[in-house]
Amino acid sequence: MSASVDAAAATPVPTRRSRGQTLRLYGRRLLRQPIATVGTVIFIIFLLMAVFGPWIAPYGFEEQSIPDRLQSPTLQHPFGTDNFGRDVFSRIIVGARGIFLLGGTGTILAVLMGTTVGLVSGYFGGLLDEILMRLLDVLLSIPSLLLALVLLGTVGPSLINLILVVAVLYIPMIARVVRSMVLDLKTKEFVEAARIRGERDSYVLFREILPNALPPLLVEASMRFSYSIFLVASLGFLGLGVQPPSPDWGLQINEARNYLEGAPWMLAFPALAISMLVVATNLMSDGLRRVLQPGREDS
Amino acid sequence: MAASAETAPGREGRTVLEIEGLSVAYRTEEGDIFPVRDVSLTIAKGESFGLVGESGSGKSTLAMGAIRYLPANGRVTSGRVLLRGEDLLSLSDKEMRNVWGSRIAVVYQSPGNALNPSIRTGNQIAEVARIHLGMSKQEAHQRMLEMLEKVKMPDPESVARRYPHQLSGGMLQRCVVAQAMMTNPELLILDEPTTALDVTTQAVVLDLVAELKQEFDSAILYITHDLGVVARVCDRVGVMYAGEFMEQGGIHDLFKRPLHPYTLNLLGCVPHFSLGPRRKTLNTIPGFIPRLDELPEGCIFAPRCSLAEPECRVAQPPLVRAAEDHLTACRRWPVVPTPAEHMATITADLMQARGAAENRLLEARDVKKYYPVPTQGPFRQDKRKVKSVDGMTVWIDEGRTLGLVGESGSGKTTLARTIIGLVEPTEGTISLRGEILGPTTRSRERDVLRRIQMVFQNPDASLNPRQTVGQSIGRPLTLFGTPRHEVPRRVLELLEAVHLSPSYYHRLPSELSGGEKQRVAIARAFAAEPDLILCDEPIASLDVSVQGSLMNLLTTLQAEKGTSYLFISHDLSAVQHLSDWVCVAYLGYAMEWGDAGDVLNPPYHPYTEALLSAIPIPDPDVIQKNIRLEGSVPSAVDIPSGCRFHTRCPRFIGDICIQEEPPWREGEGDHWIYCHHTFEALVEMQKETLRLADHDHGTPGVEVQV
Amino acid sequence: MLIFIVRRLGFMVITLILASLLIFAATQILPGDVATMVLGRFATEQALDNFREEMGLNRSLIVQYGDWLLNFVQGDWGESLSTRADVRDLVMERLRNSAMLASVAFVMYVPLGIVLGVVAAIRRNSWVDHVISVGSLAFIGLPEFVTGLLLIAVFALRLDWFPSSSAIAPDAAFFERDTLERLVLPALTISLVSLAYIARMTRSSTAEVLSMDYVRTAYLKGLSRSRVIGRHVLRNALLPTVTVVAIGIGWLIGGLIVTESLFSFPGIGRLLLFGIQRRDLPLIQATTMVIVVIFTMANLLADILYGYLNPRIRFR
């Protein structure tokens, strides 16, 4: 035995494979899917717009100029102007921030809370699980746009309320995804091995289970983010989302309705922006699923 | 390949299938790979050809390529496949469809998935006759019932009306076989048909295959990894390795005198069921099956071969005819040792560093574990219980191994989970060195938790996919008090103990093979320096050559560290190889238990006797007793009255077995049998057993039961 | 099977009660006083009190809830605060219109979605599959108000094939040329998202079935491709589609709300928006409850149908 100790002591512990290599592997897998790559690139462009929008935009989003109203696209106004003479291009660029802020914050909140509910419910099971799942069923029994309308109709469409509504709507779906992963992982032998060692619940949950539940969670979160853009835009269109004069895309489309024939660009460009962002996010999350969970079909 | 077997005596004109120089390619992202290369074989009418190989040997691909059923990225690149002289590769798709199901029939491994869950079983079977024999609905139905009779299906009418999920695994496999035989096909391909079944069910299905061979005269291509199964049902064998045949020959020649080192090694890896001098190491084959994209030059087995010489690595050796109907791909076949010589050189006595003191380490007394029957909602409460473990008592001595053997549903895994505290026993106690333990892991002290560890069956789920090998093995060390700076060094020691190089330290489980994962799992269990390790079928999902090396590893580590094992297995040969004591369980209760030598020698409990008779022994010359259990294991909800084995017992006495629980009868030494028969009566009944001590096979003391 | 249905019914009732509680609670957190809002800021204290008395607003919330639920179950849905009309008549009339619209959409997207999904799965990785898969991903992302406006711009304003407004009379007959014409564009608008959703889900369930061992068995029995698909694949692949269609009704309802508003269609979605804009409590509560009941029933029906079609559940 002592001989082997010496031998082992003499052997240096090999250096660890870097995280960068893993990321490069994922990157290569993603690049093999041209459509998902395009989606990711578009998504990143929009994200940059959201971050740097106000500095890129040629005009202020509230800058009115009545003489220039309803101008068709020109070099000065590449996407034309609206009924107040505001630059549509600038409003779209600045509007991206609101979309990411709303949808992103709402989704992150939903992920945090949904993950907590899913982890607790799936891991501890029993009566608590039963109650939590029933409550989530209730939320799911009301179609999401309907629930959003009723909630916002009563509490009023402020930014905070919008974010909270998005979060509440998506908690059930995320909780379910996490819970089903936990139920699956809980019976896996490596988790049982941890229980046999007498690991604390927190260690089992956060070190053994959660890391393995992350890939589907990430995919689900990106899907939810794309739905939230859809939802927020629909609410804006119905007048229960962000209020004027904010450059919200849904709101812009709503305002464009009355100028469909005279100024179609007022509709076309915000519609294009929403569609591109949502579709790009969908394509990206579909690609993400294939990169992170290869071998699995659509969930 | 130049030589093929078509000229073997008495086979002219009877050839059904002839495969010549077949190669199959798969398109992958890294280019084409060839899982089957230039392979030839022939099968005659009424003959069964065993295609043997470990996983990755290309045996299924060969069969599927030959009948042109490959996945979209696969194709046959060269060769001919003649079915009664007709080249299948030149047929149109439509013509091929007429061959499938009528002239060629296929039966797969998992009977549960082979039938459509939403169509009644009978209709699925009858469908074949309607399509290929042009029968009317009534005629097809009639034929289907006849076929079910022929495969000895009890109550065919009612089986035909049922859906697949309402039938047991054994019944399903009979249905699939009946479906295959509907058109009396010229070629029947059986692809691991019994691998998913229990050993007693397997024995019944193997008998059925043997009977079908007599009755239908089909040529059979039997694909399996199990040499014992081949020995029982095949006439000729081909041994495949990494896409090529290593050896082909008649079953008796090949098992008695293998002429290829790979075959010789494979035979040595299997623990032979023997009652001679025990505690020998098993044969192992160094290295791995080569990856298909980096095949070695010359003989593909040379890198792992002890007989290899430099010339073996130069050119690929052809299959040469070493004897009439015996082909080998080894250029050094004349110097390949006999099995007896081989075993004498490779096996060594195992270290016996066991403490003489017979201290009792662990005792599980009267353990019961009942689960509620899953109910349908709040309106119906089912008060019945699933009696998974129903009052078992076992103990394990220090440094010793208790083998727990039984079929699925015997409660062996549940008992282990109760011992370790993963499930709370309904009744009964677990004590360690006389001290009664808490019922669950939560209620046990950290030091108690450390003393009992477990190695699981499924290597893919044993390790956290997100933790490196080093983290997995290091965690119990940190948890149980090894100073942090010492952990890496200890991990390296443990890696060395399980024969893994330090380069494994930072690997993730996805980069390891099944056998390597199990080694890491064993290292993790030993990291806690436990007194007892529960091994729940740790080798069941691995290839035979890997099984052998893991069993060697377990015995070596036990000898070094004095750890006790509870070794759970459905494989009596493995249990016999590793255990000092044996417990045979059936439906949550022990049937027989005691010292391994006594339990596995007559007199046996009738259930043990049936299990022994069902083991496929890798020696075609062994004639085993023909004791078969009818039906399947009863539900653990309604356990039969009296002796719970009475519904299937081949030594059934009468009403006493139904009405009264049998007594525990104590034999000489440490040996207990739970039966209404006395030891004397059992001895009398089982005395047809004889022993061939000097069997020329070379395995000492093979027991032969006539 | 009966136990299965009874059990499901039980769960449905519990869910509905909890949902009604949620809806009631949500509508009660209205900022401000209902009476002031309805009667205006200059109403006298006496008038406000009378109103509260009349509407039962001065009782405890639990009593109010119990009362409201009991009345709702008995069919007394109250009086609209803004129009003073009977809520039940109003909701029922609009519900009929929405049902017309939804059923036109339903017969368009369900069969087409299933066919597209199955075709994509069978021709997996071919260009057909890529077009359908990417197309469905794209259409899932297009909000109804975008597609609706595009459809209006093209088919109503430019081509003038269909009217741009679907403001039919609230009691218009279904089988009339004018009504049907006005249903086409909104129905198309609603369909696109659900079509994409169903096509996607059907594709994945069909692809899963195609990878099953019993499909291999069927091929190796010598069955033709069409027979394998028709007899062995579809049966199992379409089973989950039943559930998918039911869940898709949630999308359909969301689509209805947006589309009805866009096309000025007198349906239940627009009624709800109207109620929300006017803060018309009884109207909001009744419309929401009706929609939730319908959605829940659809899911229940799908569950029962699934259980009936699936022998593994039927014979347990």
Q: Which long-range contacts (CB under 8 A, 24 or more apart) does A51-57 make?
A: A51/A97, A53/A93, A53/A94, A53/A95, A53/A96, A53/A97, A54/A94, A54/A97, A56/A93, A57/A87, A57/A89, A57/A90, A57/A93, A57/A94
3-state secondary structure of B565: strand
**Edge-to-edge strands of the sheet including B401-405?**
B452-455, B532-536, B564-569, B401-405, B581-586, B589-595, B671-674, B664-666
For the stretch B102-131, pLDDT in tens is 999 999 887 788 899 889 999 999 999 999
CB contact under 8 A, B116 and C236: yes
C242 touches chain B (CB under 8 A): no
Question: Beta-carbon neighbour count of residue A223 at 10 Å?
Answer: 24
For residue A256, give the chain C residue with the closest CA: C149
How far away is chain A from the Cα of C220, in angstroms, using its nearest Cα? 25
Give percent of chain B above pLDDT 70.
91
* Best mutation target, A28, A130, A196, to test chain B (most B CBs within 10 A): A196
Find the mean pLDDT for residues B371-385.
Answer: 65
What pLDDT score does B492 carry? 93
Which of the listed ranges A23-32, B200-209, B242-251, C72-81 does the model predict with the highest average pLDDT? B242-251
pLDDT higher at B597 or B492: B492
Q: Which residues of chain A have pLDDT under 70?
A: 1-22, 293-299
B9, pLDDT greater than 60: no
pLDDT tier for residue B377 given thresholds of 50, 70 and 90: very low
For residue C3, give the chain B residue with the closest CA: B376
For the stretch B555-567, pLDDT in tens is 889 988 889 999 9
**Could you tell me the two tokens for B70?**
């490959």
C148, pLDDT greater than 80: yes
CB contact under 8 A, A150 and C26: yes
**Could you tell me the two tokens for B654?**
């009468």
B273, pLDDT greater than 80: no
How far away is chain B from the Cα of C111, in angstroms, using its nearest Cα? 22
For residue C18, list chain A residues with Cβ-Cβ distance below 8 A: 134-135, 138
pLDDT tier for residue B276 given thresholds of 50, 70 and 90: very low
Cα gap B129→C309, rounded to integer Å: 27
Find the mean pLDDT for residues C14-36.
Answer: 75
What pLDDT score does B283 carry? 79
Structural element, H or E, at residue B683: helix B679-685
Q: Residue length, chain A?
A: 299
| 3-state SS track over chain C | CHHHHHHHHHHHHHHHHHHHHHHHHHHHCCCCCHHHHHHCCCCCHHHHHHHHHHHCCCCCHHHHHHHHHHHHHHCCCCECCCCCCEHHHHHHHHHHHHHHHHHHHHHHHHHHHHHHHHHHHHCCCCHHHHHHHHHHHHHHCCCHHHHHHHHHHHHHHHCCCCCCCCCCCCCCCCCCHHHHHHHHHHHHHHHHHHHHHHHHHHHHHHHHHHCCHHHHHHHHCCCCHHHHHHHHHHHHHCHHHHHHHHHHHHHHHHHHHHHHHHHCCCCHHHHHHHHHHHCCHHHHHHHHHHHHHHHHHHHHHHHHHHHHHCHHHHCC
Handedness of CA A219, A222, A228, A233 (dihedral sign): negative
* Best mutation target, B118, B125, B159, B177, to test chain C (most C CBs within 10 A): B118
A134 touches chain C (CB under 8 A): yes
Quote the DSSP letter at residue B485. G
pLDDT tier for residue B167 given thresholds of 50, 70 and 90: confident
For residue C310, list chain B residues with Cβ-Cβ distance below 8 A: 118
Cα gap B60→B223, rounded to integer Å: 7
What pLDDT score does B29 carry? 75
User: What count of Cα atoms within 13 Å lies in the side-chain half-sphere of residue B587?
Assistant: 17
For residue B500, give the chain A residue with the closest CA: A8
Cα gap C246→C103, rounded to integer Å: 14
Averaged pLDDT score across all residues of chain B: 86
Out of B69, B117, B131, closest to residue C312 by CB = B117
| Stretch among B3-17, B190-204, C296-310 having the lowest mean pLDDT | B3-17
Task: Please report the ipTM that was assigned to this predicted complex.
Answer: 0.83
CB contact under 8 A, B131 and C221: yes
| Stretch among B278-287, B621-630, C87-96 having the lowest mean pLDDT | B278-287
C130, pLDDT greater than 90: no
How far away is chain C from the Cα of B124, in angstroms, using its nearest Cα? 9
B275, pLDDT greater than 80: no
**Could you tell me the two tokens for C27?**
């509508």
pLDDT higher at B524 or C277: B524
Which residues, other chains included, contact A166 with Cβ-Cβ below 8 Å and sequence gap of 6+? A102, A103, A105, A106, A107, A109, A110, A148, A228, A231, A232
Find the mean pLDDT for residues C240-265.
Answer: 87
B706, pLDDT greater than 50: no
Give percent of chain C above pLDDT 70.
92
What pLDDT score does C53 carry? 73
pLDDT higher at C181 or C316: C181
What pLDDT score does C112 carry? 93
Look-up of token digits 């030959």: B66
What pLDDT score does B696 carry? 38
Out of B102, B115, B376, closest to residue C214 by CB = B115
| Stretch among A56-65, B165-174, C25-34 having the lowest mean pLDDT | C25-34
C28, pLDDT greater than 90: no
Quote the DSSP letter at residue A87. B
Q: Is-contact B521 B467, C-beta < 8 A?
A: no
CB contact under 8 A, C253 and A146: yes
Out of C221, C223, C311, closest to residue B117 by CB = C311
Which residues in C272-298 are b (16+ Cβ under 10 Å) and which e? Answer: bbbbbebbbbbbbbbbbbbbbbbbbeb
Q: Is-contact C91 C271, C-beta < 8 A?
A: yes
What pLDDT score does C118 carry? 93
